[in-house]
Amino acid sequence: HEVEYQGFPGFLWRAAYWAARVRGKDLMAVTPTDGIERMGSRPVQVLHGTADSRVAYHNATDLVAFAKTGGLKVTLHSFEGADHIEGLLLEPQRYQSVLVDFFSAALPN
């Protein structure tokens, strides 16, 4: 979908996908849930707009739910009515606070 979102014909993705497969690479081999499983005990924070037209909001809630089933410490910060990365634009103070608080707690002094 990213290829089409960027304005290119969808067949370009299919061509790239199959060219990679011929070379022994699977572009779809790693999924977000694979990444979550590899996080170990590290905290995770997800920021997502509820009106995201690029990555549907349910992807964030699904990922968070999956992470919690594995016992991962994960926090979802939703930005009501925000499209893709618009949370930063619509609520800059909150966005900044969320990031600063997360990294202040997660990183060693």
Residue 1 predicted with pLDDT over 70: no
pLDDT per residue as tens digits for the range 50-106: 999 999 999 999 999 999 998 999 999 999 999 999 999 999 999 999 999 999 999
Domain extents in the chain: 1-29, 31-106
Of 93, 88, 2, 11, the residue nearest 53 (C-alpha): 2
Does pLDDT of 25 surpass 90? no
pTM: 0.75
